[in-house]
Amino acid sequence: MSRHRAHDYRHLIRRWRAVARAAGLVMRPFARSGEHRVYWLRSPRLPKTGAVYLSAGIHGDEPGATEGLVAWAEGNVRSLRARPFVIFPCLNPWGLLNNSRLNADHHDLNRQFHHDADSMIRALKQLIAGHWFSVALTLHEDYDGQGVYIYEVKRRAPFWAEDLLEIARPILPIEGRTKIDGRASRSGIVRPKINPKKFPMLPEAVWLHLHHSERTFTIETPSEFALDARIAAHAAIITECVRRSPALSTINSQPSTIPPPSAPPTS
Ligand SMILES: [Zn+2]
């Protein structure tokens, strides 16, 4: 079964090429990771506001995330045509190949968004400059996880995380821990207000919240559980977030400046 070649980056990219062909997406390399190219995909018509941002694989030891994203894409070619997307299938190919959270330089890329020292992150920021996404999902896994859980950055009510977890509940248990990485968690939801001063080492999701996205979620599946269930949980949550995002036909595609977030980032 091809889906179990979860650390085979070349195979992952072949699957994405097939998705890009089927859905009419533009797929390009934009950076390097060791000897490998890092790719992104985007809709051919990409309005400055309202697209969906999806990324996985910034931590290479979380294959349920990269596999979940490609499995979702393979099953949702029509959605990929009907809505605008920016997709990063695997931000740390070296890590995926080596089953490593870190990149080849031993950096946790998800703590590097506060500066431009890393060439991949610098290039990613240039690609999305000027874009305001309706929703951004960063897909992860947690080897301490006892179930699926979600970080939803607090900006815009009504919040979505409760509904998203209900969709995952038939697939995986919901995380029961009340503290995750030092943050209070309730019924699988961590809903922080962001104070950038408390994030000297910015993760991707916080960067997106501060500069690029109306709604920002980090989805975490428990990486000691069965891979098929983790893939299915990611795919189901992506499906629901995409369903709630605006269709291309309803987005004004005129060139526009970024609107301010509906509430200013807390400082
Ligand atoms: Zn992670």
Question: What is the token pair recorded at 205?
Answer: 């999701």
Q: In angstroms, what is the span from residue 221 Cα to ligand 1's centroid?
A: 10
Q: In angstroms, what is the span from residue 66 Cα to ligand 1's centroid?
A: 11
Q: Which residues pair with 33 in a beta bridge?
A: 36
Q: In angstroms, what is the span from residue 249 Cα to ligand 1's centroid?
A: 34
DSSP at 123? H
Q: Where are the alpha helices (DSSP H) in 47-118?
A: 63-75, 77-82, 93-97
Q: Are strands 213-222 and 133-142 parallel, antiparallel or unpaired?
A: parallel
Percent of the chain that is helix, strand, coil (3-state, to 5): 35, 20, 45
Q: In angstroms, what is the span from residue 247 Cα to ligand 1's centroid?
A: 29
Q: In angstroms, what is the span from residue 141 Cα to ligand 1's centroid?
A: 5
Structure confidence at residue 236 (pLDDT):
98
Q: In angstroms, what is the span from residue 59 Cα to ligand 1's centroid?
A: 5
Q: In angstroms, what is the span from residue 111 Cα to ligand 1's centroid?
A: 11
Q: In angstroms, what is the span from residue 190 Cα to ligand 1's centroid?
A: 15
Q: In angstroms, what is the span from residue 140 Cα to ligand 1's centroid?
A: 4
Q: In angstroms, what is the span from residue 45 Cα to ligand 1's centroid?
A: 30
Q: Which residues pair with 199 in a beta bridge?
A: none
Q: In angstroms, what is the span from residue 121 Cα to ligand 1's centroid?
A: 16
Q: In angstroms, what is the span from residue 163 Cα to ligand 1's centroid?
A: 22
Q: In angstroms, what is the span from residue 177 Cα to ligand 1's centroid?
A: 17
Q: Where are the alpha helices (DSSP H) in 150-226?
A: 161-168, 204-211
Question: What is the token pair recorded at 190?
Answer: 């961590």
CA gap 129, 194 in Å, rounded: 21
CA gap 161, 149 in Å, rounded: 9
Structure confidence at residue 256 (pLDDT):
47
Q: In angstroms, what is the span from residue 80 Cα to ligand 1's centroid?
A: 25
CA gap 186, 177 in Å, rounded: 8
Q: In angstroms, what is the span from residue 231 Cα to ligand 1's centroid?
A: 15
User: Does residue 134 contact residue 216 with C-beta atoms inside 8 Å?
Assistant: no
| pLDDT under 70: residue ranges of the chain | 1-4, 252-267
Q: In angstroms, what is the span from residue 182 Cα to ligand 1's centroid?
A: 16
Q: In angstroms, what is the span from residue 95 Cα to ligand 1's centroid?
A: 11
CA gap 178, 208 in Å, rounded: 26
- This model's pTM is above 0.85: yes
Is residue 175 helix, strand or coil?
coil
Structure confidence at residue 265 (pLDDT):
43
Structure confidence at residue 144 (pLDDT):
95
Q: In angstroms, what is the span from residue 197 Cα to ligand 1's centroid?
A: 21
Structure confidence at residue 130 (pLDDT):
96
